[in-house]
Amino acid sequence: MTSQTSPASQRSAARKLLSRFLLLDGHNDLPWTLRQAGHEDLAAPDLASPVEFTHTDLPRIAAGGLSAQFWSVYVPATLSGDRAVTATLEQIDLVHRMIRRYPGVLELALTAADVDRIFAAGKVASLIGAEGGHSIASSLGVLRMLYGLGVRYLTLTHNANVPWADAATDEPAAGGLTAFGREVVREMQRLGMLVDLSHVSPATMRDALDCAEAPVIFSHSSARALCDHPRNVPDEILARLPGSGGVCMVTFVPSFISPECQAWENELTAEIEGRGMEPWDFGVRARIGPGWASGHPRPRATLAQVANHLEHVRELAGIDHVGIGSDFDGTDQVPDGLSDVSCYPALIAELLGRGWSEEDCARLAGGNILRVMREAEAAARAISERRGPSTAHIGDAGDAPLSPAPRPAG
């Protein structure tokens, strides 16, 4: 049943709801945006003031009711081995320095209890997620050290395969997870690090779910049934989330939520390929895209389409298995109505208008992912008691090189 309250009343109710309940976004690429703009020293810009070239700054965080954030420490999949590890460490360092620079607003969170405590103190609980298995260079030792530095989820791949797992946007090589890939999943869950299945192939999703002993997440993915993009989650996988306890955190990337936006991106890719150029090279897309778009207007995604994906995940997996993973600052386009981190209340208002209860919205906003964190922490304690300290070594991670693929949105 659709609520009969006015849009203004729904927006007011949404703002009040987000002042009382946790809002934890699963994915924000602000650290990479700052690095790419040459501001990794954090001397400028001042995030305490409005920033023109980002989706994220502290005033807009406050306006949006954002109370917890997984900051992505993304590095490109074109980096591999020691170079990928070094760049990831630099990104982790950037996040730690960003938190220290704004101690009155941000605070590092390592556990679900930390998130609760920091939220109660009126600050933004800041968590760290590593986007792509290339960041560990096929080393369980590096994985453990990233956990020690505060990383609380690892996305198993980015856009390119790693030697031990297939990505959604690369040609299959491993057929899912290799034996070492399954060991990575087991070690992550022994540590209490969330296994993030955004970016991976359906075969990798299935293999991870088969061997997982704790809930998994999709930190920023949407529903493939509504937009047939390889980065989205098939219904068969969404239907397995209740059995695993996992959460799909729906993203705002236009080509992942709008079939029209995806079709436009596909046409641009074909145009670039037709010119004999690499379609996922950001520089190439930046040069070709504007001129091509002048004769091919770029469609716009909408907030309502994001809400449609949230409702689809809820229908397939249940209200306990849906969340929000915006990918702000990781995409060059955003939906109308969701221009930056100040806009979360507009999305909650849309859902209230569709008949979602306050309890439903509270679970979506942060309750579900916080429950997953608690369950992952409890599973880690049980696994460690059963298995004892890890004695795993690198093992056979495979000899295939990482296939380079510059990063498209998401």
- The per-residue DSSP string of 201-229 comes to -HHHHHHHHHH-SS--EESS--BTTTS--
Unique residue bearing structure tokens 């969701």 = 338
pLDDT exceeds cutoff 90 at 234: yes
Closest by alpha carbon to 28, among 68, 60, 69? Answer: 69
Mean per-residue pLDDT, 204-224: 98
Question: What's the pLDDT at 402?
Answer: 30
> What are the tens digits of pLDDT across the range 176-202?
999 999 999 999 999 999 999 999 999
pLDDT band at 387, cuts 50/70/90? Answer: confident
| Coil vs helix vs strand at 183 | helix
Tokens (6 digits) for 389: 């300290």
pLDDT band at 155, cuts 50/70/90? Answer: very high
Q: How many CB atoms lie within 10 A of CB 315?
A: 14
Residue-averaged pLDDT of the chain: 92
pLDDT exceeds cutoff 70 at 410: no
Question: What's the pLDDT at 282?
Answer: 62
> What are the tens digits of pLDDT across the range 79-125?
999 999 999 999 999 999 999 999 999 999 999 999 999 999 999 99
Question: What's the pLDDT at 337?
Answer: 98
Mean per-residue pLDDT, 228-234: 97
pLDDT exceeds cutoff 80 at 377: yes
What is the phi/psi pair of residue 34, to 5°? Answer: -65, -40
Euclidean distance between CA atoms 154 and 219, whole angstroms:
10
Question: What's the pLDDT at 283?
Answer: 67
Write the burial class of residue 304 (CB in 10 Å: 0-12 exposed, 13-18 middle, 19+ buried).
middle
Mean per-residue pLDDT, 380-401: 60
Question: What's the pLDDT at 280?
Answer: 64
Question: What's the pLDDT at 286?
Answer: 76
- Listing DSSP states for 219-266 in one string gives SS--BTTTS--TTSBPHHHHTTHHHHT-EEEE---HHHH-HHHHHHHH
Residue pair 57/387 in contact (Cβ under 8 Å)? The answer is no
**Active site residue ranges:** 27, 29, 131, 158, 199, 220, 327
Residue pair 247/323 in contact (Cβ under 8 Å)? The answer is yes
pLDDT exceeds cutoff 70 at 212: yes
pLDDT exceeds cutoff 50 at 391: no
Residue 108 pairs in a beta bridge with 126
pLDDT exceeds cutoff 70 at 41: yes
pLDDT band at 399, cuts 50/70/90? Answer: very low
Closest by alpha carbon to 394, among 111, 169, 178? Answer: 178
Question: What's the pLDDT at 168?
Answer: 96
Euclidean distance between CA atoms 202 and 209, whole angstroms:
11
Mean per-residue pLDDT, 317-336: 97
| DSSP E strand stretches across 109-179 | 124-131, 151-155
Residue pair 136/85 in contact (Cβ under 8 Å)? The answer is yes
Mean per-residue pLDDT, 383-392: 71
Ramachandran region, residue 51 (left: φ > 0; alpha: ψ -120 to 50; beta: rest): beta
